[in-house]
Amino acid sequence: MSKKIYDSMLELIGNTPMVRLNKICKGLDSEILCKLEYMNPSGSLKDRIAYEMIRKAEESGELKPGATIVESSTGNTGFALSSVGRAMGYNVRIYETMPGKAGSEKKKMMENVGAEVCLMEPEDIEEMKERSIAGSEVELPGRQRCFDVEQESDGKIWWARQFANPQNCESHYITAQEILEQTDGKLDVFVQSIGTGGSVYGIAKVLKEACPNVKVIGIQPASSKEPWTAGMDFPKTDIKGGIVSDMLANPDLVDELVMITDEQARAMTHRIWEEEGLYCGVSSGANVHFAMEEIKKSSGKLRVVTLMCDHMNRYLSDERYVT
């Protein structure tokens, strides 16, 4: 039985519901089950990693009272760290790399909860014909700033390093356990946008151990300048690689890597809003698009599980597929 009264917003992180898509899958023998991660307190799955990264850093002594948490983000991790970090008593500074009005909206959201935000808008983003955004690439200047200020801080700055922090993956071991409980361990395919790789890596690791035959599909934006393939060498640096490097080095973890256009992701997102009444963000549309593609390829009955990663309120002024 769930608690009637919770002691803080931190207790509301995780244990998100799972919903079957009915109208989108009408007439199909297969089904798509969506875990509603946008029902986490700050509106995205990133609350899970924010809490675990901070908690573990406190335990290890890396994060000390009075320190400032810094991170480079296209928005969701930035807002999650702002919300969770402020609730846990820390100052937070985010280098926000989402372009245009959307970046300004997210800046306002983070400032509303007490974070300091530095906008770092990519210079060439408006010239891109493909409007999807690869966060692992546009976040690089912000990561460099995080690295620099941490090196100069004498312990007063702690960089969360979501792209390389093991807690990004390990927090999603719990997400995977929730999926297994909600499906009674019966699923055929798991689909998820890659981003920094934490959710794909963490969930796939646990699912593969429990259900060795489950197929894992990872999605990348079509705008990416660095298409990924399983088994490829993707070197690690102080600001690049990290979890994605580990994921690509393990060809047994992700069975298929695919790319999606902004147009495809947005089209399915609108269908989800209008037909299912689920108010998710555009990465959720990307996930459901490829869940449906997998069903179309199969001659059998499939149960496909995916995540609805964030809320539609992230996309009021500019709808883009952002990982």
pLDDT tens track for 185-205: 999 999 999 999 999 999 999
Does residue 46 have an active-site annotation? Answer: yes
Q: Which residue has the tokens 């990872």?
A: 218
Contact 289, 132 (CB under 8 A): no
Categorize the per-residue pLDDT at 10 as very low, low, confident or very high, splitting at 50, 70 and 90.
very high
- Give the DSSP H or E segment for 20: strand 18-20
Options 46, 106, 107, 215, the catalytic residue:
46
What region does 34 belong to: left with phi over 0, alpha with psi -120 to 50, or beta?
A: beta
pLDDT tens track for 133-177: 898 899 999 999 999 999 998 889 999 999 999 999 999 999 999
Amino acid found at 285 = G
Domains along the sequence of the chain with CATH: 9-39+166-314 (3.40.50.1100), 46-159 (3.40.50.1100)
- Strand-pair partners of 133: 322
d(CA 170, CA 241): 17
d(CA 50, CA 155): 19
pTM, full prediction: 0.95
Nearest to 158 by CA among 228, 40, 250, 57: 57
Nearest to 43 by CA among 114, 117, 136, 106: 106
Dihedrals phi, psi of 291, to nearest 5 degrees: -65, -45
Nearest to 207 by CA among 255, 161, 273: 255
